[in-house]
Structure 1
Amino acid sequence: MTTVLPEEPRFPVPRGCPLHPPPCYSNQRRRGPVSRVTLWNGARAWVVSRYEEVRSVLRDERFSADPTRPGFPEVAPAVPVARGLSLVNLDPPEHRHYRLTLSRGFLPRAMEAQRPAVRADVGRLLDRVCGDGRPSDLVARLAVPLPALTISRVLGLPSGVRLFFERHSALIQATEPDPALLAGVLGELRMAMTALVCDRREQPADDVISRLAVEHWGADRLSRDEVVALATMVLLAGHETTSNTVALSLLALLRHPDQLAWLAEDPSEARVAVAVEELLRYTTAAQFFPRRVAVADVEVGGVRIRAGEGVLVLLGPANRDEDVFPDPDTLDLTRNSRRHLAFGHGVHQCLGHALARVELQEVVGAVARRLPALRLATEVGELDFKDDGFVYGIRALPVTW
């Protein structure tokens, strides 16, 4: 049977509705699991947006995550500034080596131990929100500072480094940042992280950076620069995606007051945990990644993808696959969405997924308990969405209650 390929749009496609993936991906998915798009530079790439095929690509080592390979799909002009070591851009066995180095510090039990501190942070941040004159911006007051506080505590960052990163995280994560500004910010961050790693090697504490510096620096394991790069990577990965997911989840609840009211009736840990999985599915902040390039000819969904061809793996549209999630464009906090792909799949599944779940559960539960009458203080059309970032989100979320 010959698969009919859908028409070829230019990537990225505008969303239309800010809380839904572009409708063309749903149309393409219904016609076939794999389709072609044209990138900004005229290059062509494959898009995979159906749930089962997305899982298949992400666990297949014939698809490389290495952006230096010919044919790797670039969604914007390359920035001539090294952003440091990143697990998302490494293939096995190198990826396995670095991930195992970090994994002990991010086991679910260790992340669950962070819950009391996260709960206290959420409480303090909501105290500030409630003390604000109305409206209050939940991005600036909650969604940005909470993940920064949390990942800084896990890593062991002093407040000065945390605040510097918090101010510049949007620049670091942008698809087309100013190269000179980015180089300056990354240079300062690298210097601060290097000094911290050296300090923790001499005076270790109970944090991830101390373990990396004491247990893995030297003895043919990791160099000092690798320790610095890994710590910086965790800081980046542990903030931007969670921050935007918190903001998008709150917006989704505000756009569905019946769902917020249902949660407020019984904001128990069990009910909140189920609701968070649905919010992760529904919002899926990963926008222009994962990306892959085939290193061999591979058949996906009846389509042959040849070696050297780029592949865009779209988690958001895959999480709206009606064959897996009935009525997928409806937010249903009672739905069992644990199979969602918001954290990816396979060897590159998000290392910090357990920590992100703790943060989201604490935010959603606290908002349902303390601010059940929360509502937007502006029209959705007035909100400024991050359409140009690798991670989708909102720049400000003004609310009242």
Structure 2
Amino acid sequence: MTAPQGDHVLEQEFDRVVADDPTVDRAAVFARLREEEPVFFSETLQAWVVSRHHDVREVLRDSESFRAVQSGPGAPPYGRTYLHMEGREHAKKVGVVATRIRSRNALRDGLDARVHDISVRTAEALTHGAPVELRREFAMWIPLLAITEMTDLGHEESFERWYRAVGSGGVASVNNPEARTRALAARDELESFLAPYVEERRRNPGSDLISSLAAAEYDGQPLPLSEIVSSVVFLLAAGVETTERVLTSLLRHVALHPEAWDWLQERLDDEDAVAALSAEALRFFPPVNGLMRRTVSEVRIGDTLVPEGQRVCLLLVAANRDPEVFADPETFRVDRYVGQGSKQFTAAGEILPFGAGTHYCVGARLAQTEMRHALRELGSRVARIEPVGDLPPDEGFMLRCPPSLPVVLHTRAEVFA
């Protein structure tokens, strides 16, 4: 499966993107891929690469022909999760988590208030008028505390270490197999940690997520420990990763473009406006740049026939800037989704950071809630975000965001003094 003659230059440019070469123009490479080679076989990734929005969405929706990869670089290190389930089993088991983090009842009956409280505490703890690392001290803690408090497990520092190891060993391991080894070791540690909690909560259930999973049954049998651990690891990695990374990228953007921060501050009480800005951030700065699938049988993607048993790399980052779907796609527009911001956090939205079809991310509404409260609480306290030196740019191929965000936060009193 060698690429056709005449395409080597473009594929070499794509290899530079995979290697995270900071000198390559990623947007230009993705644009050429969409136009010239929307589906091609990458020798570097040993996978078919798909870049057009329509093709990516159709693959994500077609769970009969495409399944989540289960082994090798790029495969989730969680174990068997909802990604690997279909039909009745998927609906039944994902429903245990969905009722806690996706349903309107969950948001109304405590989750929204919990995330609000976490955001208030985290924002209030930030230093003003002196350098602060906003990714480590703000963007990370809101989603991490949301997961650890929902599970009622504490040990936030250990969960941070496990989450980073597991997160980097999933799709990011497609070009870094060693990261997958570290992720599997972290998963084993987490299973050892969780086992006694699961057994205790089978006997004495509470109102937390672990208790819900421990009490759940499928076909008259309790969920096995391995699946409960996989669910927690999946939520920890996917749930924290998305919000932390997109918040970091967005806050870097508004630090460099203060007019965007001003736009938000004028609309902090407008839930739709905050959702619109959050959705545009997810489109423009997708924290997960790609997803891996495998073909169940020979299948056509666009005009290309892909054999059975092949790995497929879906470039969400390229699909999210497809001019066939998004007007002026290379421009970050704060008002792009005004009037339809919340829609983008559902399977009916245009953006693809949460997938599509049956396996649309169960945590999309949680991510929206976390971003809304994080932006509102920070925006109500900080009038200006001042960069400290040259802010680090985004980095990473499959998982992408700035490695750090050193800034000085200024209150309204300081700005107008």
| Structure 2 partner of 1:39 | 44
The CA RMSD over aligned residues, in Å, is 3.0
On the 8 A contact 2:283/2:353 being kept in 1, the answer is yes
Q: 1:15 to 1:223 in 2, by over 3 A?
A: closer
Output the amino acid matched with 2:288.
A
Using the size of structure 1 for normalisation, the TM-score is: 0.85
Judged with a 3 Å threshold, the aligned counterparts in structure 2 of structure 1 residues 217 and 95 are, in CA distance, closer, same or farther, namely closer
- Matched residues in 2 for 1:270 and 1:19: separation? 36
Q: Give yes or no for the alignment of 1:342 onto 2:353.
A: yes
- Cα displacement string for residues 147-198 of structure 1 (whole angstroms, at most 9, x for unaligned residues): 11101122222x22x3201134222222244677555533331112111111
CA contact (8 A) 1:101 1:216 kept: no
- What's the offset of the Cα at 1:90? 4.8
Which residue is equivalent to 1:150?
Answer: 146
The one of 158, 169, 175 aligned to 2:163 = 169
Q: 1:67 to 1:273 in 2, by over 3 A?
A: closer
Tell me which residue corresponds to 2:224.
223
Residues in 2 aligned to 1:315 and 1:178: alpha-carbon distance in whole angstroms: 21
- Higher deviation after alignment, 343-352 or 86-95: 86-95
SS at match of 2:369: helix
Assess if the C-alpha contact under 8 Å between 1:143 and 1:246 holds in 2: yes
Contact 1:35 1:47 (8 Å CA) reproduced: yes
The residue type equivalent to 2:143 in the other structure is: P
Mapped pair 1:327 → 2:305: no
Maintained 8 Å contact 1:49/1:315? yes
| Equivalent-residue separation in structure 1 for 2:266 and 2:203 (angstroms) | 51
Shift of 1:322: 1.1
Aligned to 2:286: 284
Decide whether aligned partners of structure 1 residues 187 and 28 sit closer, same or farther in structure 2, where only a CA change above 3 A counts. closer
Q: Is the 8 A contact 2:66 2:295 kept in 1?
A: yes
Pair 341,183 (structure 1): closer, same or farther in 2 beyond 3 Å: closer
Q: Give SS of 1:65's match.
A: strand
Change over 3 Å in CA distance of 1:14–1:224 after alignment to 2: closer
2:121 aligns with: 124
Distance in 2 (alpha carbons) for counterparts of 1:100 and 1:358? 19
Determine the structure 1 residue equivalent to 2:258: 257
Equivalent of 1:365 in 376, 382, 385? 376
Q: State the alpha-carbon separation in 2 of the partners of residues 330 and 19 from structure 1.
A: 19
Residue 379 of structure 1, aligned match among 383, 390, 397: 390
Is the CA contact (8 Å cut-off) linking 1:119 and 1:362 kept in structure 2? yes
Per-residue CA deviations over 1:279-320 (Å, capped at 9, x if unaligned) read 111111112x32112222222222222223321111111111
| Equivalent pair of 2:134/2:405 in contact (CA under 8 Å) | yes
Map of 1:202 onto structure 2: 203
- Equivalent-residue separation in structure 2 for 1:296 and 1:188 (angstroms): 36
Q: Summarize the alignment of residues 1-400 of structure 1 with structure 2, pairs less than 5 Å apart.
A: 7-9=10-12, 10-11=14-15, 12-13=17-18, 21-39=26-44, 43=46, 45-68=47-70, 74=73, 83-90=78-85, 95-109=90-104, 110-112=106-108, 113-130=110-127, 134-157=130-153, 159-160=154-155, 162-174=156-168, 175=173, 176=176, 177=178, 182=183, 184-216=185-217, 219-268=220-269, 269-287=271-289, 289-336=290-337, 338=344, 339-380=350-391, 383=392, 385-387=394-396, 390-400=398-408
Compute the TM-score of the two structures, normalised by the length of structure 2: 0.82
More displaced stretch, 144-153 vs 240-249: 240-249
Tell me which amino acid in the other structure corresponds to 1:358. T
Question: Any unmatched runs of 5+ in structure 2?
Answer: 345-349, 410-417
Alpha-carbon contact 2:69-2:311 (below 8 Å) kept: no
Contact 2:82 2:94 in 1 (8 A): yes
**What's the CA shift for 1:361?**
1.0
Whole-Å Cα distance in 1 between the matches of residues 29 and 384 of structure 2?
A: 35
Alpha-carbon distance, 1:216 to partner: 2.5
Q: Which runs of 4+ in 1 moved over 6 A?
A: 16-20
Identical positions, percent: 26
| Structure 1 unaligned regions, length at least 5 | none
Distance in structure 1 (CA, Å) of the matches to 2:260 and 2:180: 43
Q: Number of aligned residue pairs: give it.
A: 382
